[in-house]
Amino acid sequence: MTETTNMKEKLAEMQRAQGPLLEVKDLKVDFTTDDKRAVHAVRDASFSVYPGQWVAIVGESGSGKSTSAMAVLGLLPGTGKVVGGSIKLEGQEIAGLKPKDYQKLRGSKMGLVPQDPMSNLNPVWRIGTQVKEALKANGMDVAHEKRSALAKALAGDEVAVKTNDDETFIGSQELPALFDAAKVALKAAGKSDEKIAKLMERFKEEWVPGSETRWRVADDLIKAGVKDDDAWVVAKEHVTGSTMNDRIAGLLSEAGLPDAATRARQFPHEFSGGMRQRALIAIGLACRPDLLIADEPTSALDVTVQKKILDHLHMLTDNLGTAVLFITHDLGLAAERAQHIVVMYKGQVVESGPSLEVLQHPQHPYTKRLVAAAPSLASQRIISAHERGEDAKALMEHQVKGEDALKKSEHIITVEHLTREFKLPRKKELFKAVDDVSFSVKRGTTLAIVGESGSGKSTVANMILKLLEPTSGKVIYEGQDIAGFKGRQLLDFRRHVQPVFQNPYGSLDPMYSIYRSIEEPLRIHKIGDKKSREKRVRELLDMVEMPESVMTRYPNELSGGQRQRIAIARAMALDPDVIICDEAVSALDVLVQDQVLRLLNDLQAEKGLSYLFITHDLAVVRQIADEVVVMQHGKLVEHATTDEVFDHPKMQYTRDLLDAIPGGKLQLGLD
Amino acid sequence: MTDQNSAIEEQGKELFVDPLPGQERFVAPLEETPLKEVDYLDESVPPTSMWADAWKVLRKNPLFIISSIVVVFVFIVALFPQLFTKVDPLNCVLDNSLEGARAGHPLGFDLQGCDVYAHVIYGARTSVSIGILTTIIVTLLGGFIGAIAGFFGGWVDAILSRITDIFFAIPFLLGAIVVLQMFRTSSSIWKVVFALAIFGWVSMARIVRGSVLEAKNLEFNTASLALGSSPIRNLFQHIIPNSLAPAIVMATMSLGSYIVSEATLSFLGIGLPSSVVSWGGDISNAQPLLTTNPSVLFWPSLALAITVLAFIMLGDCVKDALDPKSRTA
């Protein structure tokens, strides 16, 4: 513990001595609209990043966080322009640089890990070629490591890096000879065969061509017991530099891709999302920039993958002494990863400071709101209930009633041995998307199905909605098997079981006015006349806390959260018993997400609804669910009450999911 | 609780010695960063629909204004040619062959002694009606087949798509010659419309099929099904309205090309008979005069070019206005 504190102090001392790597002062960015109006995307934003430091910019969509980062990189999209303020990199003003001069900075001084791993790799090029492009564009020396002064100084503690030659990479050609020489040296040092075999095993794993350098080899040998001089002789003789291909493989394996040499020859479509993001990290770090800008690098990935990738990125940048400007919408994630947090709201910096301090004592009302709403922060529920005072009592009452109901109420929906197989193109065997899943939803409660992408959770939802027929197994609604529902009966079932879908931009017909959208279910079921339907629409809008004036508007005029509230109003139109929310809040900003969850919670308390809540986000589950079903690869992994799952998870997979919740272990308090 | 808090503070102190210069705690003054309600809806902005939005974009587009003025003008000429000339285009006097311009005949005469100006004016009616009729038939036929193929999918789609492919494989001119040969004796413009539509519906069907397929898989459609709506109701209530935009764009843009195709057919002598005044026929007749009397060739060509350009520009503007990618929330 004291050792790490010492390291931290030493680092801070050096950072202080070197001054900030990036200093942004009063940055102003404007976009010009079609009718020549200026929109101020960033207003007077100031922040700084020190060498080797992680700084996070946190904010909701449209807060200007990505725009600020892109302004630093000189890559503002469209009509965006820096209209004021200064951006200094290593003390030099770069805000007004010509595109050509900027080009020299990007890659070598500043790297980028973009947000969407799916669209940021060129699909017609091999992964290796894309890494090579980055190396070539900056004229990188592929035979030697480029380490920042900071990393050198910190690493200098362990072993003195004397000359530049000590940073020569291992080449794949010379690897066998190196292993032989290492074996001989170990033998000469008097190690037993068994010990040698063990050490060699480790070396084989660690000495990656194009990634590990000469002094590391020497260091490893010395630590294994070989005499200093002998170790250096071996290292000097057998580590003489890598080729371009070695370096590419080295970079990819550094980013955490196993079997990197083979991977380098593959195309992006052969990679999963996580692997693509790793390749993008390799590209971003290829030229050893001093500053890496990571723009929501993991928001498109599953939480467990996100954790792995960020852990790895952290280790890498610490080793290289790279500073990271980390853009995220997730406060918990920011606090967990960065030392310094900058909170942005509507283009302005509203609060900044050491991350734990900002989180524990938020001062600006916006930050307070964010902290209160962040689902990933462990103590959220208690605090929000406490804060809401009166509401808290109602919440408790509802819970008590809920618990009471849990015991005696019947099951409104029961799923028995549900299985669904899909035929995959060009494959003979069927793919089991859902494999023997059984559970039941108790009346008036919320059951959450949690799983990562591809776990089959949405397929289950579609089968319960009878939008998809199961291969085998049954869905029972109110004691009746829904497989037999037809005509009148099916219409009746549809009336009582309503969905709310994930994509707020897709679930409302863009050609329908809000009024028509909400009225649609009433028309389909031929309920009421024109006048009574209009009255009902007004009631429903009031229920989801939207003004009546919204009736004449169209979905494209509303925000994601507002559209989702309209979708809820539509689902409520027929007074259903069950609402199936398929990732209904996943695409929303935290504050809006919190608002929609509260709305759902209130509606449940008021109308005694039962929810089936499909989500990938365990943090959300805690806020809304009474029972949890965890799914993985189509199978049900764990099924228990929410408290049990969170407090005593039984399965390893559930524990992994819980561990991966960003900021889950941070302790918070609200002033 | 307080114990815990102080413990946390201890921990915080240990982890973060002192903020680095320039990274001290900063809180923006509230008056400079006013807080809006979560998910605030600006009610002062007047509501607009997709069509109203598109119209707003179009109204400000100079290209749209120019091309629509031209199109409207061409329509007026086509509907009321008498307003623009008192001369009967079919009243040709050989004595006037290739005479220059004179009072009442501003563009002179062609080889047959027909008034060039009157021909250009009356030719508009043929060209425009062929363009519009073909577009209507193509849109209805292609739209219907495309919608059926996209909506039902499976074997229906397979059969309809193969039929479309077959029509695609036939060279347009060759096909048109064969079709028009069947109606050699008729002088009605319908035969040209028929020939153009037979080969024109294919592209429309493909476009509509694509957009129906896309609309079919959108979530609002699934949502509507889960509300209890029937698939057929959905086709008419959601899917077709949502695939209209590309069909409209396709229709406006191809209207011009049908006019050109008619001219091509007439030019080759297999389109309309010489008794029907059309720009294509006029161009064909004037072809031998290219070196000696180019103005006879020039005027119908100019009228054709301007009309077609106007329609294509109009289609382009409509496409820009309806393009969902340029429209954001």
Tens digits of residue pLDDT in A285-311: 888 888 999 998 887 778 888 888 888
Nearest CA-CA distance, residue B56 and chain A, Å: 12
Tell me which residue of A144, A112, A165, A166 sits closest to A244, measured CA to CA. A144
Question: What confidence tens digit (pLDDT) does each residue in A356-365 have?
Answer: 888 888 889 8
Average pLDDT of chain A to the nearest whole number: 83
Q: A398 or B106: whose pLDDT is higher? A: B106
Tell me which residue of A579, A309, A331 sits closest to A441, measured CA to CA. A579
Q: A153 or B174: whose pLDDT is higher? A: B174
Q: Coil, strand, or helix at residue B131?
A: helix
d(CA A176, CA A290) in angstroms, rounded, equals 34
Across the interface, of A5, A48, A465, the residue whose CB is closest to B22 is A48
Find residues 506-535 of chain A whose CB sits inside 8 Å of chain B.
506-511, 513, 520-521, 524-525
Q: Please indicate whether, in this complex, the C-beta atoms of A511 and B50 are within 8 angstroms of each other.
A: yes
Buried b vs exposed e over B232-265: b needs ≥16 C-beta within 10 Å?
eebbebbbbebbbbbbbbbbbbbbbbbbbbbbbb
Q: What is residue A114's DSSP assignment?
A: -
Find residues 9-38 of chain A whose CB sits inside 8 Å of chain B.
9, 12, 15-16, 19-20, 23, 35
Q: Where does the pLDDT of residue B6 fall: very low under 50, low under 70, confident under 90, or very high at 90 and above?
A: very low
Residue A272 has pLDDT above 50, yes or no: yes
Strands A472-477 and A480-481 come out as antiparallel
Least trusted range by pLDDT, from A186-190, B39-43, B267-271 = B39-43
Span A410-423, average pLDDT: 88
A390-510+577-660: same fold as A20-109+289-373?
A: yes
Q: Coil, strand, or helix at residue A593?
A: helix
Tell me which residue of B52, B219, B291, B320 sits closest to A564, measured CA to CA. B219
Buried b vs exposed e over B270-307: b needs ≥16 C-beta within 10 Å?
bbbeeebbbbbbbbbbbeeeeeebeebbebbbebbeeb
Q: What is the pLDDT of residue A56?
A: 94
CA-nearest residue of chain B to A22?
A: B22
Which residues from chain B sit within 8 angstroms of residue A9, using beta carbons? 17
Q: Are A546 and B41 in contact (CB under 8 A)?
A: yes
Question: What confidence tens digit (pLDDT) does each residue in A500-529 have?
Answer: 888 777 888 888 888 999 999 998 888 888
* CA-to-CA dists, residue B89 to A16, A244, A353, A531, B289, angstroms: 92, 78, 85, 61, 19
DSSP A142-201: TTB----HHHHHHHTTTS---SGGGGBBPPTTTHHHHHHHHHHHHHHTT--HHHHHHHHH
Question: What confidence tens digit (pLDDT) does each residue in A550-590 have?
Answer: 888 888 888 888 888 899 899 888 889 999 998 888 778 88
Tell me which residue of A534, A542, A443, A454 sits closest to A497, measured CA to CA. A443
Residue A629 has pLDDT above 90, yes or no: yes
Q: What single letter denotes the amino acid at residue B131?
A: G
Span A317-336, average pLDDT: 87
Across the interface, of A354, A495, A549, the residue whose CB is closest to B43 is A549
Strands A411-422 and A92-93 come out as unpaired
Per-residue tokens: A284:
């971003």
Kindly report the three-state secondary structure assignment for every residue of A312-340: HHHHHHHHHCCEEEEEECCHHHHHHHCCE
Q: What is the pLDDT of residue B323?
A: 65
Residue with tokens 């003025």: B69
Q: What is the pLDDT of residue A323?
A: 92
Contacts of B324 (CB under 8 A, 6+ apart): A510, B245
Per-residue tokens: A157:
């503690």
Across the interface, of B24, B38, B50, the residue whose CB is closest to A510 is B50
Q: Please indicate whether, in this complex, the C-beta atoms of B39 and A669 are within 8 angstroms of each other.
A: no
Which residues from chain B sit within 8 angstroms of residue A510, using beta carbons? 50, 242, 324
Residue B156 has pLDDT above 90, yes or no: yes
Strands (E), A4-37: 22-32
Question: What confidence tens digit (pLDDT) does each residue in B263-276 have?
Answer: 888 888 787 877 78
Which residues from chain B sit within 8 angstroms of residue A553, using beta carbons? 47-48
Q: In the beta sheet, which residues pair with residue A639?
A: A629
Q: Where does the pLDDT of residue B70 fall: very low under 50, low under 70, confident under 90, or very high at 90 and above?
A: very high
> For A390-510+577-660, which CATH class?
alpha beta
Q: Where does the pLDDT of residue A155 fall: very low under 50, low under 70, confident under 90, or very high at 90 and above?
A: low
Q: Please indicate whether, in this complex, the C-beta atoms of A35 and B60 are within 8 angstroms of each other.
A: yes
DSSP A405-447: HHHHPPEEEEEEEEEEEEPPTT-SSPEEEEEEEEEEEETT-EE
Q: B34 or A472: whose pLDDT is higher? A: A472
Q: Please indicate whether, in this complex, the C-beta atoms of B45 and A557 are within 8 angstroms of each other.
A: yes
Q: In what order do the strands lie in the sheet with B26-27?
A: A110-113, A291-295, A323-328, A54-58, A340-345, A348-354, B26-27
Find residues 337-366 of chain A whose CB sits inside 8 Å of chain B.
339-340, 345-346, 348-354, 356-358, 360, 363-366
What does the domain layout of chain B look like in residue ranges? 72-98+106-326
CA-nearest residue of chain B to A565?
A: B39
Q: Coil, strand, or helix at residue B185?
A: coil
Total-model pTM: 0.77
For A281, the enclosing helix (H) or strand (E) is helix A273-285
Which residues from chain A sit within 8 angstroms of residue B16, using beta carbons? 339, 354, 356-357
d(CA A310, CA A307) in angstroms, rounded, equals 5
Angle between helices A390-408 and A590-607 (to 10 degrees): 60
Least trusted range by pLDDT, from A262-266, A377-381, A577-581, B254-258 = A377-381
Q: What is the pLDDT of residue A3?
A: 59
Q: What is the pLDDT of residue A612?
A: 92
**Annotation: CATH topology of A20-109+289-373:** Rossmann fold (3.40.50)
d(CA B143, CA B243) in angstroms, rounded, equals 10
- CB neighbourhood size of B184 (10 A): 9
**Which superfamily, per CATH, for B72-98+106-326?**
MetI-like (1.10.3720.10)
d(CA B55, CA B195) in angstroms, rounded, equals 34
Span A379-398, average pLDDT: 40
Distance of CA B58 to the CA centre of its chain: 14
